[in-house]
């Protein structure tokens, strides 16, 4: 077979595979935050950025942007997107004579008209070198960085929403993927579904150096009410700033159980920081109140009595 014919067949096969990829309906696309409203250097207003992002989503072929008339009809699996640009800035790199434009992008995806409300967030960071010091060069670099950041969140959104459509068995296989994003998005969905297989991985993430990663893992474990996470959460408060310690204390109270109650009682009685003591007492009071309104079956056999 001739090489040209082989290349043509490969292109056709790749195109066919791409066309079979699911396209996710988007009924609403909104912008949030002051960066998109007041950004003279970028030179684009909110409507320009919105139109640009809509084009990026459309070009990805993973999303179907519903027209205004379409959005009025009931689309059971339609998503609402909210884009924010937390920052647009110029930074200097080590050993570089050039500055770089950076644009951060955060996309929140929500679906409330299905059986279960869903909410996911993905982030991107676009970067472009500033070739000269004049305003035109800076604007060009900033727009290139914005483009790259929007492409990143578009790709991440496609992977995240694809994970939502996959059964648990497939997601468990995705946890072994070489792509870190595929593993992360699969874990998020498994945690939302309260699949027990997600708990050990989330507990491991509590020790991540990135506080935001640890915070997200903690939130997922709270949703799962996984009492096996209590010892790891207790260890998490060591050498942390007080605000984060209070978050952990409330998370422990939300999960509950005998070990949680015993820990909260000890902290409420003897922690050296009054704010942490107060947080522990509040969490404990909430836990006791929940016991009073729960049936004996819901309380379980491991309830600690004080």
Nearest to 24 by CA among 60, 69, 49: 60
pLDDT digit string (tens) for the chain, length 306 residues:
555 554 445 444 444 444 467 789 999 999 987 766 666 778 888 888 999 999 999 999 999 999 755 545 556 789 999 999 998 888 887 777 789 999 999 999 999 876 678 999 999 999 999 998 888 899 999 999 999 999 999 999 999 999 999 999 999 999 989 999 999 999 999 999 989 999 999 999 998 888 888 888 998 899 888 899 999 999 988 878 888 889 999 999 999 989 999 999 998 888 888 888 898 889 888 888 876 655 444 444 444 444
**Which CATH number belongs to the domain containing residue 154 in this structure?**
3.40.50.10610
Is 203 part of a structural domain of the chain? no
Is 300 part of a structural domain of the chain? yes
- Domain-terminating residue out of 165, 188, 215: 165
pLDDT at residue 306, rounded to an integer: 41
Spatial distance between the Cα atoms of 74 and 218, rounded to a whole number of angstroms: 35
- Domain-terminating residue out of 165, 181, 206: 165
pLDDT tens digits for 152-182? Answer: 999 999 999 999 999 999 999 999 899 999 9
Is 276 part of a structural domain of the chain? yes
Is 255 part of a structural domain of the chain? yes
- Model confidence, pTM: 0.76
Are 63 and 160 members of one domain?
yes
Is 212 part of a structural domain of the chain? no
Are 135 and 63 members of one domain?
yes
Are 122 and 244 members of one domain?
no
Q: Which domain range does residue 300 map to?
A: 226-306
pLDDT at residue 292, rounded to an integer: 67
Beta strands in the chain (DSSP E): 24-32, 63-65, 79-84, 88-92, 99-111, 118-130
Token pair, residue 159, equals 């992977």
Number of domains composing the chain: 2
Packing angle of the helix pair 180-192, 135-164 (nearest 10 deg): 50
pLDDT at residue 169, rounded to an integer: 95
Is 194 part of a structural domain of the chain? no
**Four-residue CA torsion sign, 184, 241, 278, 303:** positive
pLDDT at residue 10, rounded to an integer: 47
- Domain-terminating residue out of 165, 191, 209: 165
Are 231 and 123 members of one domain?
no
pLDDT tens digits for 42-75? Answer: 888 888 899 999 999 999 999 999 975 554 555 6
Question: Hey, what's the torsion of the CAs at 288, 289, 294, 299, to 10 degrees?
Answer: -10
Are 148 and 241 members of one domain?
no
pLDDT at residue 271, rounded to an integer: 82
């Amino acid at each position: 077979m001739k090489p040209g014919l082989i290349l043509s067949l490969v292109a056709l096969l790749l195109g066919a595979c791409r066309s079979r990829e699911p396209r996710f309906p988007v009924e609403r696309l909104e912008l949030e935050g002051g960066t998109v409203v007041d950004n003279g250097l970028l030179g684009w207003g909110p409507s320009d950025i919105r139109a640009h992002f809509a084009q990026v989503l459309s070009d990805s072929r993973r999303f179907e942007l519903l027209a205004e008339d379409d959005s009025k009809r009931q689309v059971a699996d339609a998503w609402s997107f909210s884009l924010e640009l937390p920052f647009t800035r110029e930074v200097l790199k080590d050993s570089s004579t050039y500055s770089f434009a950076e644009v951060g992008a955060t996309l929140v995806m929500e679906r409330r008209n299905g059986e279960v409300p869903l909410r996911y967030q993905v982030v991107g960071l676009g970067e472009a070198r500033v070739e000269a010091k004049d305003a035109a060069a800076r604007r060009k670099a900033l727009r290139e960085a914005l483009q790259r950041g929007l492409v990143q969140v578009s790709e991440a959104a496609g992977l995240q929403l694809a994970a939502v459509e996959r059964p648990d068995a497939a997601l468990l296989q995705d946890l072994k993927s070489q792509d870190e994003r595929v593993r992360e998005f699969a874990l998020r969905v498994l945690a939302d579904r309260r699949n027990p297989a997600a708990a050990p991985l989330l507990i491991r993430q509590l020790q991540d150096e990135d506080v935001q990663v640890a915070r997200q893992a903690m939130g997922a474990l709270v949703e799962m009410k996984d009492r096996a996470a209590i010892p790891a959460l207790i260890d998490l408060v060591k050498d942390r700033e007080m605000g984060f310690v209070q978050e952990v204390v409330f998370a422990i109270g939300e999960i509950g159980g005998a070990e949680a109650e015993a820990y909260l009682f000890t902290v409420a009685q003897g922690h050296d920081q009054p704010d942490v003591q107060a947080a522990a007492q509040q969490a404990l009071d909430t836990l006791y109140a929940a016991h009073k309104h729960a049936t004996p079956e819901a309380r379980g056999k491991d309830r600690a009595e004080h």
